[in-house]
Amino acid sequence: MKAWNYHILFLQISLCIAVLSADAQNLENEIFLKAMRDELNRSMAELHSPDVQPPFFIMYGATDQKTYTISATLGSLQESLESTNRFKTTTRVLVGDYSFNDESLDDNLFSSPTAAEIGLPMDDDYEGIRRAFWSTTDNVYKDASKHFEKHKRTLTESGKSLKDHPHRTFAKGKSMEWVSKLAPSDFDVKSWEEQVRNLSAIFIDHPFVLNSGVGIRFVEGYKYLVNSEGVVAKIPHSVATFFVVGQAKNDKGEFLFDQIIHV
């Protein structure tokens, strides 16, 4: 394969996708955000454990998005899927205060999911959303309490003050509200299926490429964030990923793999 020169011929395609247009909305009409904020406020007011301080900071994050995935090889469609996902991305609970808390010192402790945790409902079920965040908050708070007690023991046993240990510093942030609206996308599934098939068919004329594929993945939706310092945000996000992959053999019979990904 002298002409091959150990490189696969790939198409380079640039995608231009208009994604965002911000538009202020009434927070009271945002059921998902309202449920997050109400559950956070309840946790700040009521969450406690015997002999442990209540939390001084809580933050919730979540993502709600739709994903389109289309792929093809040698002119034939392999996959065309549409899926909707809603999941928690952040549940942060701090015990102590801004000067000294469960995240002040480095350790290997972390909060892992438990069987008792509840996933987010796919619809805007106010009570269901609150239950989902409650289940995670309870678990993280218990672990944060253990971390804080461990940090206090570390200081006591070392006989040193916090400033004599490598530690993180914390400061209270400003409150803000940002609720934006995502401009509806014009993602034409049928049109992209045809384009992906046609692009993948180019490899038919390059038989030295043993395995090949062309595809696109388009994701759009919102990222949500609320915290006890007064931050309330609904941020649109939209991203398209185009990929081309191929595999061939060189003159020594060794497999070569390459790919191009455009985001």
Residues 125 and 33: beta-carbon distance below 8 Å: no
User: For residue 3, what pLDDT is reported?
Assistant: 33
In the chain the domains, ranked by start, together with CATH numbers, are 27-262 (3.30.2290.10)
Q: Is 174 helix (H, G, I), strand (E, B) or coil?
A: coil
User: For residue 100, what pLDDT is reported?
Assistant: 82
Closest C-alpha among 174, 175, 153, 176 to residue 165: 153
User: For residue 11, what pLDDT is reported?
Assistant: 27
Closest C-alpha among 93, 91, 228, 102 to residue 167: 102
Structure tokens at 177: 């509200």
* Count of alpha carbons within 13 angstroms of residue 15, beta-carbon side: 20
Burial call 129-165: b when 16+ CB within 10 Å, e when fewer: bbbbbbbbbbbbbbbbbebbeebeeebeeeeeeeeee
Widest pairwise Cα distance in the chain: 75
CA 194/CA 5 separation, integer angstroms = 31
Structure tokens at 102: 């469960």
Name the band, by pLDDT with cuts 50, 70 and 90, for residue 113.
low
CA 60/CA 89 separation, integer angstroms = 8
Q: List, for residues 129-159, the tens digit of each pLDDT value.
A: 999 999 999 889 998 988 888 888 877 778 7
Name the band, by pLDDT with cuts 50, 70 and 90, for residue 107.
low
The rounded percent of the chain whose pLDDT value lies above 90 is 56
**DSSP, residue by residue, 182-212:** PPPP---HHHHHHHHHHHHGGGGG-TTEEEE
Name the band, by pLDDT with cuts 50, 70 and 90, for residue 212.
very high
